[in-house]
Amino acid sequence: MGYADKPINPPKHVAAWLLAAGGERAEAGPLAVVSEPGARPAWERFAAAVGAGFPVALAEPEEGARGADLAAVLARREARTAGAVWMATGGTTGGARFCRHRGRTLGAAACGFAETFPEIREHWSVLPAHHVGGLMPFLRAAACGGTAVAGNYRAWLAGRFATPPGRGACLSLVPTQLARLLAVPAADAFLRGFGMILAGGAALPPAVRAEAWRRGLPLAPCYGMTETAAMVTVLPPADFLRGTDGCGPALPHVRLSVDKGGRLSVDSAALFEGYLEASGFLPRRPGPWAAPDAGRWSPEGSLVVEGRLDRVINTGGKKVSAERVEQVLSGMEGVGAVFVFGEPDMDWGERVVAAVEVAESGKEAFWRARARALLAPEERPKVWLALERLPRTSAGKVDAAALRKSFSLRGE
Protein backbone atom coordinates (compact mmCIF):
# COMPACT_ATOMS: atom_id res chain seq x y z
CA MET A 1 0.00 0.00 0.00
CA GLY A 2 2.82 2.41 0.82
CA TYR A 3 2.63 5.23 3.37
CA ALA A 4 0.02 3.37 5.41
CA ASP A 5 0.06 0.21 7.51
CA LYS A 6 -1.42 -2.95 6.07
CA PRO A 7 -5.10 -3.40 6.90
CA ILE A 8 -5.76 -5.06 10.24
CA ASN A 9 -8.69 -7.40 10.86
CA PRO A 10 -9.91 -6.81 14.42
CA PRO A 11 -10.04 -10.11 16.36
CA LYS A 12 -13.47 -11.73 16.56
CA HIS A 13 -13.52 -11.41 20.34
CA VAL A 14 -13.55 -7.60 19.99
CA ALA A 15 -16.73 -7.75 17.89
CA ALA A 16 -18.29 -10.13 20.43
CA TRP A 17 -17.32 -7.74 23.24
CA LEU A 18 -19.00 -4.84 21.43
CA LEU A 19 -22.20 -6.77 20.75
CA ALA A 20 -22.59 -8.44 24.16
CA ALA A 21 -25.21 -6.91 26.45
CA GLY A 22 -23.45 -8.32 29.49
CA GLY A 23 -20.97 -11.08 30.25
CA GLU A 24 -18.32 -8.85 31.81
CA ARG A 25 -16.07 -10.17 34.54
CA ALA A 26 -17.62 -9.84 37.97
CA GLU A 27 -14.31 -9.00 39.61
CA ALA A 28 -11.92 -6.20 38.78
CA GLY A 29 -8.68 -7.15 37.09
CA PRO A 30 -5.43 -5.24 36.71
CA LEU A 31 -5.74 -2.00 34.77
CA ALA A 32 -4.26 -2.20 31.26
CA VAL A 33 -2.94 1.21 30.19
CA VAL A 34 -2.76 1.62 26.40
CA SER A 35 -0.12 4.23 25.62
CA GLU A 36 1.64 2.88 22.51
CA PRO A 37 2.64 5.74 20.17
CA GLY A 38 1.36 4.22 16.92
CA ALA A 39 -2.28 3.49 16.09
CA ARG A 40 -1.76 -0.12 15.05
CA PRO A 41 0.25 -1.13 18.19
CA ALA A 42 -2.32 0.67 20.36
CA TRP A 43 -5.22 -1.12 18.63
CA GLU A 44 -3.51 -4.47 19.12
CA ARG A 45 -2.76 -3.74 22.77
CA PHE A 46 -6.38 -2.68 23.32
CA ALA A 47 -7.67 -5.88 21.71
CA ALA A 48 -5.38 -8.00 23.90
CA ALA A 49 -6.60 -6.25 27.07
CA VAL A 50 -10.23 -6.78 26.08
CA GLY A 51 -9.53 -10.44 25.38
CA ALA A 52 -7.99 -10.84 28.82
CA GLY A 53 -11.01 -9.21 30.45
CA PHE A 54 -9.02 -6.32 31.91
CA PRO A 55 -10.30 -2.79 32.45
CA VAL A 56 -8.54 -0.50 29.98
CA ALA A 57 -7.34 3.10 30.09
CA LEU A 58 -6.31 5.06 27.01
CA ALA A 59 -3.64 7.51 28.10
CA GLU A 60 -1.08 9.24 25.95
CA PRO A 61 2.35 9.35 27.63
CA GLU A 62 2.71 12.74 29.29
CA GLU A 63 5.65 14.27 31.07
CA GLY A 64 5.74 16.74 33.95
CA ALA A 65 2.75 17.83 35.99
CA ARG A 66 0.18 16.72 33.43
CA GLY A 67 1.54 13.17 33.41
CA ALA A 68 1.56 13.08 37.21
CA ASP A 69 -2.08 14.23 37.30
CA LEU A 70 -3.18 11.51 34.87
CA ALA A 71 -1.25 8.83 36.76
CA ALA A 72 -2.79 9.93 40.07
CA VAL A 73 -6.32 9.56 38.67
CA LEU A 74 -5.61 6.12 37.20
CA ALA A 75 -4.08 5.01 40.52
CA ARG A 76 -7.49 5.27 42.20
CA ARG A 77 -9.23 2.04 43.13
CA GLU A 78 -12.22 2.90 40.90
CA ALA A 79 -9.99 2.72 37.81
CA ARG A 80 -9.92 -1.07 38.19
CA THR A 81 -13.71 -1.39 37.79
CA ALA A 82 -14.50 -4.56 35.85
CA GLY A 83 -15.33 -3.92 32.20
CA ALA A 84 -14.41 -0.24 32.29
CA VAL A 85 -12.83 1.61 29.37
CA TRP A 86 -11.35 4.93 30.49
CA MET A 87 -10.77 7.73 27.97
CA ALA A 88 -9.06 11.00 28.85
CA THR A 89 -11.22 14.01 28.14
CA GLY A 90 -11.02 17.76 28.46
CA GLY A 91 -13.51 20.04 30.11
CA THR A 92 -13.77 23.09 32.31
CA THR A 93 -12.55 21.56 35.58
CA GLY A 94 -8.90 22.10 34.70
CA GLY A 95 -7.74 18.78 36.19
CA ALA A 96 -7.12 15.34 34.73
CA ARG A 97 -10.36 13.52 33.98
CA PHE A 98 -11.43 10.28 32.29
CA CYS A 99 -14.81 9.20 30.87
CA ARG A 100 -15.96 5.68 31.66
CA HIS A 101 -17.28 3.65 28.76
CA ARG A 102 -17.88 -0.08 28.36
CA GLY A 103 -18.05 -2.49 25.48
CA ARG A 104 -21.80 -1.98 25.23
CA THR A 105 -21.58 1.83 25.00
CA LEU A 106 -18.79 1.75 22.43
CA GLY A 107 -20.62 -1.03 20.61
CA ALA A 108 -23.81 1.03 20.35
CA ALA A 109 -21.84 3.79 18.62
CA ALA A 110 -19.90 1.46 16.32
CA CYS A 111 -23.02 -0.47 15.29
CA GLY A 112 -25.01 2.73 14.77
CA PHE A 113 -22.44 3.88 12.24
CA ALA A 114 -22.32 0.47 10.53
CA GLU A 115 -26.12 0.42 10.23
CA THR A 116 -26.16 3.86 8.61
CA PHE A 117 -23.24 3.29 6.23
CA PRO A 118 -23.15 -0.45 5.41
CA GLU A 119 -21.05 0.21 2.30
CA ILE A 120 -18.07 1.32 4.42
CA ARG A 121 -15.88 -1.69 5.16
CA GLU A 122 -12.41 -0.17 5.52
CA HIS A 123 -11.74 2.42 8.24
CA TRP A 124 -8.65 4.60 7.90
CA SER A 125 -7.31 6.84 10.65
CA VAL A 126 -4.41 9.21 11.26
CA LEU A 127 -5.68 10.20 14.71
CA PRO A 128 -3.97 9.16 17.96
CA ALA A 129 -5.46 5.91 19.23
CA HIS A 130 -5.39 7.30 22.79
CA HIS A 131 -8.42 9.43 21.92
CA VAL A 132 -11.95 8.37 21.05
CA GLY A 133 -11.56 9.50 17.43
CA GLY A 134 -8.53 7.26 17.00
CA LEU A 135 -9.97 4.19 18.71
CA MET A 136 -13.40 4.16 17.06
CA PRO A 137 -12.21 3.39 13.48
CA PHE A 138 -10.81 0.12 14.85
CA LEU A 139 -14.06 -0.63 16.69
CA ARG A 140 -16.20 0.32 13.68
CA ALA A 141 -14.16 -2.14 11.62
CA ALA A 142 -14.81 -4.80 14.27
CA ALA A 143 -18.55 -4.06 14.28
CA CYS A 144 -18.93 -4.39 10.50
CA GLY A 145 -16.49 -7.27 10.03
CA GLY A 146 -14.17 -5.02 8.01
CA THR A 147 -10.62 -3.76 8.35
CA ALA A 148 -8.82 -0.82 9.96
CA VAL A 149 -5.84 1.04 8.49
CA ALA A 150 -3.39 3.42 10.19
CA GLY A 151 -2.26 6.05 7.68
CA ASN A 152 1.10 7.83 7.61
CA TYR A 153 0.00 11.46 7.94
CA ARG A 154 3.53 12.89 7.90
CA ALA A 155 4.25 11.16 4.60
CA TRP A 156 1.00 12.51 3.17
CA LEU A 157 1.94 16.07 4.14
CA ALA A 158 5.18 15.52 2.21
CA GLY A 159 3.18 14.52 -0.86
CA ARG A 160 3.73 10.76 -0.58
CA PHE A 161 0.40 8.98 -0.58
CA ALA A 162 -0.84 5.45 -0.18
CA THR A 163 -2.64 3.57 -2.94
CA PRO A 164 -6.13 5.08 -3.43
CA PRO A 165 -8.33 3.02 -1.11
CA GLY A 166 -11.65 2.75 -2.97
CA ARG A 167 -15.24 3.81 -2.38
CA GLY A 168 -15.73 1.38 0.49
CA ALA A 169 -13.14 3.19 2.61
CA CYS A 170 -13.62 5.94 5.18
CA LEU A 171 -10.92 8.32 6.48
CA SER A 172 -11.17 10.01 9.90
CA LEU A 173 -9.58 13.47 10.23
CA VAL A 174 -9.85 16.54 12.44
CA PRO A 175 -10.34 19.88 10.61
CA THR A 176 -6.72 20.96 11.12
CA GLN A 177 -5.44 17.83 9.38
CA LEU A 178 -7.87 18.33 6.52
CA ALA A 179 -6.83 21.97 6.09
CA ARG A 180 -3.15 21.02 5.91
CA LEU A 181 -3.79 18.24 3.42
CA LEU A 182 -5.71 20.66 1.20
CA ALA A 183 -2.47 22.64 0.90
CA VAL A 184 -0.65 19.59 -0.56
CA PRO A 185 -1.01 19.67 -4.37
CA ALA A 186 -1.08 15.90 -4.81
CA ALA A 187 -3.68 15.29 -2.08
CA ASP A 188 -6.86 15.76 -4.10
CA ALA A 189 -6.70 12.55 -6.12
CA PHE A 190 -5.94 10.53 -3.00
CA LEU A 191 -8.72 12.09 -0.93
CA ARG A 192 -11.25 11.66 -3.73
CA GLY A 193 -10.48 7.94 -3.64
CA PHE A 194 -12.34 7.54 -0.35
CA GLY A 195 -16.04 6.94 -0.11
CA MET A 196 -16.21 9.19 2.94
CA ILE A 197 -13.94 11.61 4.83
CA LEU A 198 -15.19 12.13 8.37
CA ALA A 199 -14.29 15.59 9.71
CA GLY A 200 -15.00 16.08 13.41
CA GLY A 201 -13.50 16.66 16.82
CA ALA A 202 -13.56 20.45 16.42
CA ALA A 203 -15.45 23.12 14.52
CA LEU A 204 -14.94 22.92 10.74
CA PRO A 205 -13.86 26.39 9.52
CA PRO A 206 -16.18 27.71 6.79
CA ALA A 207 -13.23 28.36 4.47
CA VAL A 208 -12.05 24.74 4.76
CA ARG A 209 -15.57 23.44 4.23
CA ALA A 210 -16.02 25.63 1.16
CA GLU A 211 -12.70 24.53 -0.33
CA ALA A 212 -13.48 20.84 0.19
CA TRP A 213 -16.85 21.40 -1.54
CA ARG A 214 -15.21 23.26 -4.42
CA ARG A 215 -12.82 20.36 -4.98
CA GLY A 216 -15.60 17.80 -4.86
CA LEU A 217 -14.23 15.86 -1.90
CA PRO A 218 -16.55 13.28 -0.25
CA LEU A 219 -16.54 15.14 3.05
CA ALA A 220 -18.81 14.02 5.90
CA PRO A 221 -18.88 16.70 8.63
CA CYS A 222 -19.87 15.16 11.95
CA TYR A 223 -20.50 16.05 15.58
CA GLY A 224 -19.65 14.16 18.74
CA MET A 225 -17.25 13.92 21.66
CA THR A 226 -15.63 11.49 24.08
CA GLU A 227 -18.75 11.40 26.25
CA THR A 228 -20.86 10.18 23.31
CA ALA A 229 -18.33 7.61 21.99
CA ALA A 230 -17.56 9.92 19.04
CA MET A 231 -20.17 10.84 16.44
CA VAL A 232 -23.85 11.35 17.16
CA THR A 233 -24.51 13.00 13.77
CA VAL A 234 -22.96 12.53 10.32
CA LEU A 235 -23.73 14.44 7.12
CA PRO A 236 -23.52 11.94 4.22
CA PRO A 237 -21.03 13.02 1.51
CA ALA A 238 -23.76 13.20 -1.14
CA ASP A 239 -25.66 15.72 0.99
CA PHE A 240 -22.48 17.70 1.63
CA LEU A 241 -21.80 17.92 -2.10
CA ARG A 242 -25.38 19.09 -2.66
CA GLY A 243 -24.62 22.02 -0.37
CA THR A 244 -26.48 20.93 2.76
CA ASP A 245 -25.38 22.89 5.81
CA GLY A 246 -24.35 21.50 9.19
CA CYS A 247 -23.13 18.10 10.28
CA GLY A 248 -26.07 15.87 9.47
CA PRO A 249 -28.97 14.08 11.15
CA ALA A 250 -28.70 11.94 14.25
CA LEU A 251 -27.40 8.38 13.86
CA PRO A 252 -29.93 5.61 14.63
CA HIS A 253 -28.63 4.95 18.14
CA VAL A 254 -29.05 8.62 19.15
CA ARG A 255 -31.97 10.84 20.15
CA LEU A 256 -30.88 14.44 19.83
CA SER A 257 -32.91 17.49 20.85
CA VAL A 258 -32.41 21.25 20.94
CA ASP A 259 -34.21 23.31 23.59
CA LYS A 260 -35.54 26.86 23.18
CA GLY A 261 -32.21 28.30 24.31
CA GLY A 262 -30.32 26.25 21.71
CA ARG A 263 -28.69 23.81 24.13
CA LEU A 264 -28.16 20.31 22.72
CA SER A 265 -29.31 17.26 24.63
CA VAL A 266 -28.16 13.73 23.81
CA ASP A 267 -29.87 10.47 24.77
CA SER A 268 -28.11 7.34 23.58
CA ALA A 269 -27.01 3.85 24.58
CA ALA A 270 -23.51 5.07 23.70
CA LEU A 271 -23.35 7.70 26.47
CA PHE A 272 -20.53 7.52 29.00
CA GLU A 273 -21.28 6.36 32.55
CA GLY A 274 -19.45 9.10 34.45
CA TYR A 275 -16.15 10.85 35.10
CA LEU A 276 -13.13 9.66 37.08
CA GLU A 277 -11.20 12.55 38.63
CA ALA A 278 -8.64 12.92 41.40
CA SER A 279 -11.52 13.22 43.87
CA GLY A 280 -13.15 9.97 42.78
CA PHE A 281 -15.80 8.67 40.37
CA LEU A 282 -18.70 11.01 39.52
CA PRO A 283 -21.55 9.02 37.93
CA ARG A 284 -23.60 10.59 35.16
CA ARG A 285 -27.21 11.27 36.03
CA PRO A 286 -29.66 8.88 34.31
CA GLY A 287 -31.46 10.12 31.23
CA PRO A 288 -30.43 12.56 28.49
CA TRP A 289 -27.11 14.35 28.83
CA ALA A 290 -26.83 18.11 28.33
CA ALA A 291 -24.02 18.69 25.82
CA PRO A 292 -21.80 21.78 26.20
CA ASP A 293 -22.81 23.12 22.78
CA ALA A 294 -25.61 25.18 21.26
CA GLY A 295 -27.16 24.35 17.90
CA ARG A 296 -30.17 24.40 15.61
CA TRP A 297 -31.72 22.26 12.89
CA SER A 298 -31.35 23.28 9.25
CA PRO A 299 -34.39 23.09 6.94
CA GLU A 300 -33.02 19.75 5.68
CA GLY A 301 -32.88 18.32 9.22
CA SER A 302 -29.12 18.66 9.59
CA LEU A 303 -27.65 19.76 12.93
CA VAL A 304 -25.86 23.11 12.76
CA VAL A 305 -23.60 23.53 15.79
CA GLU A 306 -23.34 27.18 16.74
CA GLY A 307 -20.57 26.92 19.31
CA ARG A 308 -19.77 25.97 22.86
CA LEU A 309 -21.91 27.54 25.53
CA ASP A 310 -18.83 28.10 27.69
CA ARG A 311 -17.02 30.13 24.99
CA VAL A 312 -18.93 33.35 25.45
CA ILE A 313 -16.85 36.45 26.21
CA ASN A 314 -18.49 39.16 28.31
CA THR A 315 -16.96 42.45 27.24
CA GLY A 316 -18.31 45.91 27.99
CA GLY A 317 -21.66 44.44 29.05
CA LYS A 318 -22.13 42.56 25.77
CA LYS A 319 -21.77 38.86 25.00
CA VAL A 320 -19.45 37.80 22.19
CA SER A 321 -19.29 34.31 20.68
CA ALA A 322 -15.62 33.40 20.38
CA GLU A 323 -16.42 30.86 17.67
CA ARG A 324 -18.26 33.38 15.49
CA VAL A 325 -15.24 35.71 15.64
CA GLU A 326 -12.99 32.78 14.72
CA GLN A 327 -15.11 31.96 11.68
CA VAL A 328 -14.87 35.53 10.40
CA LEU A 329 -11.15 35.95 11.01
CA SER A 330 -10.20 32.57 9.53
CA GLY A 331 -11.34 33.80 6.13
CA MET A 332 -8.84 36.68 6.03
CA GLU A 333 -5.95 36.63 3.57
CA GLY A 334 -2.77 35.20 5.03
CA VAL A 335 -4.47 33.75 8.12
CA GLY A 336 -4.63 30.04 8.85
CA ALA A 337 -6.08 28.73 12.09
CA VAL A 338 -7.57 31.17 14.60
CA PHE A 339 -8.35 30.83 18.30
CA VAL A 340 -10.24 33.55 20.14
CA PHE A 341 -10.51 33.82 23.91
CA GLY A 342 -11.33 36.33 26.62
CA GLU A 343 -8.87 37.70 29.14
CA PRO A 344 -9.73 39.70 32.29
CA ASP A 345 -9.68 43.46 31.76
CA MET A 346 -10.19 46.20 34.38
CA ASP A 347 -12.16 48.42 31.99
CA TRP A 348 -14.08 45.92 29.85
CA GLY A 349 -14.53 43.00 32.25
CA GLU A 350 -12.98 40.84 29.54
CA ARG A 351 -11.14 41.75 26.36
CA VAL A 352 -11.22 39.77 23.13
CA VAL A 353 -7.87 38.21 22.20
CA ALA A 354 -7.23 36.64 18.79
CA ALA A 355 -4.34 34.22 18.27
CA VAL A 356 -3.77 33.73 14.54
CA GLU A 357 -1.61 31.23 12.70
CA VAL A 358 0.25 33.17 10.00
CA ALA A 359 3.20 32.68 7.69
CA GLU A 360 4.45 36.24 8.35
CA SER A 361 3.76 38.82 11.04
CA GLY A 362 3.52 42.61 10.76
CA LYS A 363 0.01 42.71 9.28
CA GLU A 364 -1.85 43.79 12.39
CA ALA A 365 -3.05 47.03 10.76
CA PHE A 366 -4.57 45.03 7.88
CA TRP A 367 -6.26 42.59 10.28
CA ARG A 368 -7.71 45.42 12.35
CA ALA A 369 -9.11 47.08 9.24
CA ARG A 370 -10.75 43.84 8.11
CA ALA A 371 -12.13 43.23 11.59
CA ARG A 372 -13.69 46.71 11.60
CA ALA A 373 -15.39 45.91 8.30
CA LEU A 374 -16.66 42.47 9.26
CA LEU A 375 -17.28 42.48 13.02
CA ALA A 376 -19.39 44.44 15.46
CA PRO A 377 -17.40 46.78 17.75
CA GLU A 378 -17.58 44.45 20.76
CA GLU A 379 -16.44 41.49 18.63
CA ARG A 380 -13.25 43.12 17.36
CA PRO A 381 -10.10 41.76 19.03
CA LYS A 382 -8.33 44.16 21.36
CA VAL A 383 -5.14 42.09 21.17
CA TRP A 384 -3.64 40.12 18.27
CA LEU A 385 -1.11 37.31 18.69
CA ALA A 386 0.66 36.30 15.47
CA LEU A 387 2.07 32.77 15.79
CA GLU A 388 3.74 30.46 13.31
CA ARG A 389 1.78 27.55 14.82
CA LEU A 390 -0.98 27.49 17.40
CA PRO A 391 -0.19 25.01 20.22
CA ARG A 392 -2.23 21.85 19.83
CA THR A 393 -3.03 18.68 21.70
CA SER A 394 -2.23 15.31 20.17
CA ALA A 395 -5.88 15.11 19.07
CA GLY A 396 -5.38 18.17 16.87
CA LYS A 397 -7.35 20.61 19.01
CA VAL A 398 -5.96 23.99 20.04
CA ASP A 399 -4.31 23.69 23.45
CA ALA A 400 -6.15 26.56 25.11
CA ALA A 401 -4.27 26.22 28.41
CA ALA A 402 -0.88 26.43 26.69
CA LEU A 403 -2.03 29.40 24.64
CA ARG A 404 -3.28 31.31 27.68
CA LYS A 405 -0.04 30.58 29.50
CA SER A 406 1.96 31.87 26.54
CA PHE A 407 -0.20 34.98 26.48
CA SER A 408 0.35 35.66 30.18
CA LEU A 409 4.10 35.15 29.88
CA ARG A 410 4.19 37.79 27.14
CA GLY A 411 2.74 40.24 29.63
CA GLU A 412 0.05 41.41 27.24
Instruction: Band the pLDDT of 90: cuts 50, 70, 90.
Output: low
Q: What are the tens digits of pLDDT across the range 237-282?
A: 999 999 999 999 999 999 999 998 889 999 999 999 999 999 999 9
Strands 219-225 vs 230-234: parallel, antiparallel or unpaired: antiparallel
Please, what is the Cα angle at 224 between 322 and 104, to 5 degrees?
A: 155
Look at 40-44, 144-148, 331-335 and tell me which has the smallest mean pLDDT. 331-335
156 in the same domain as 60: yes
Q: Is residue 3 in a domain? A: no
Q: Is residue 370 in a domain? A: yes
Q: Is residue 237 in a domain? A: yes
Q: Is residue 6 in a domain? A: no
The CATH number assigned to the domain holding 258 equals: 3.40.50.12780
302 in the same domain as 324: no
CA atoms within 13 A on the CB side of 116: 23
Contacts of 111 (CB under 8 A, 6+ apart): 18, 19, 143, 253
* Dihedral (CA of 192, 195, 200, 204) sign: positive
Contact 172, 123 (CB under 8 A): yes
Neighbours of 327 (CB within 10 A): 18
Q: What local confidence, expressed as pLDDT, does residue 93 receive?
A: 44
Contacts of 192 (CB under 8 A, 6+ apart): 215, 216, 217, 218
Helix, strand counts (H, E) of the chain: 13, 21
Neighbours of 346 (CB within 10 A): 6
Total residue count of the chain as it appears in this document = 412
**Domain boundaries, position 383:** 312-410
Q: How far, in Å, CA of 370 to CA of 351, rounded?
A: 18
* DSSP assignment letter at 383: E
Q: Is residue 4 in a domain? A: no
Alpha helices in 183-236 (DSSP H): 187-192, 206-214
Q: Pick from 308, 334, 349: which residue ends a domain?
A: 308
The total of structural domains in the chain comes to: 2
Q: What are the tens digits of pLDDT across the range 129-175?
A: 888 999 999 999 999 999 999 999 999 999 999 888 899 999 999 98
Q: Is residue 7 in a domain? A: no
72 in the same domain as 35: yes
Q: pLDDT averaged over the chain?
A: 88
Q: Pick from 283, 308, 333: which residue ends a domain?
A: 308
CA atoms within 13 A on the CB side of 252: 11
Q: 236-243 long-range contacts, Cβ below 8 Å, gap at least 24? A: 236/117, 236/196, 237/195, 237/196, 237/197, 239/300, 239/302, 240/213, 241/213, 241/216, 243/213
297 in the same domain as 331: no
95 in the same domain as 214: yes
Q: Pick from 286, 308, 330: which residue ends a domain?
A: 308
251 in the same domain as 367: no
The CATH number assigned to the domain holding 348 equals: 3.30.300.30
- Average pLDDT for residues 88-111, to the nearest whole number? 84
Neighbours of 165 (CB within 10 A): 20
